[in-house]
């Protein structure tokens, strides 16, 4: 199970449906080479699961992303998150 989340990033979700669409569209700007999956978690967090380490590094290097002038801080997935 832990291995499945090795290339995952997490962020606290505080936006509604319209911003959710903006976020998933925003990921397209990174021109990821592998598949990615974005999911809402029960506790109000978003998880971004990536297949390729290159894609993970491409997003993680930013730590903070801005979508519609709203900051989004990313965190690495840890087992007791």
For 37, list phi and psi in degrees, rounded to 5. Answer: -135, 130
pTM of the model: 0.78
* Residue 43 included in any domain: yes
CB contact burial 39-74 (16+ within 10 A = b; e otherwise): eeeeeeebbbbbeeeebbeebbeeeebeeeeeebeb
Q: For residue 6, which of 61, 72, 77 has the smallest C-alpha distance?
A: 77
Q: How far apart are alpha carbons 53 and 44 in whole angstroms?
A: 25
Q: For residue 23, which of 11, 35, 6, 34 has the smallest C-alpha distance?
A: 11
* Residue 81 included in any domain: no
The CATH number given to whatever domain includes residue 39 is 3.30.70.330
Residues spanned by the domain of 47: 3-76
- Residue 66: pLDDT above 80? no
Tens digit of pLDDT for each residue in 5-45?
Answer: 889 988 876 655 546 666 777 888 889 999 999 887 877 68
């Amino acid at each position: 199970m832990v291995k499945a989340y090795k290339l995952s990033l997490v962020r606290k979700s505080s936006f509604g449906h319209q911003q959710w669409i903006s976020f998933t569209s925003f990921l397209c700007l990174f021109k990821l080479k592998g598949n990615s999956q974005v999911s809402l978690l029960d506790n109000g967090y978003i998880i971004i699961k990536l297949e390729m380490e290159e894609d993970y590094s491409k997003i993680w290097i930013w730590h903070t992303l801005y979508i519609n002038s709203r900051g989004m801080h990313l965190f690495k997935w840890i087992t007791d998150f």
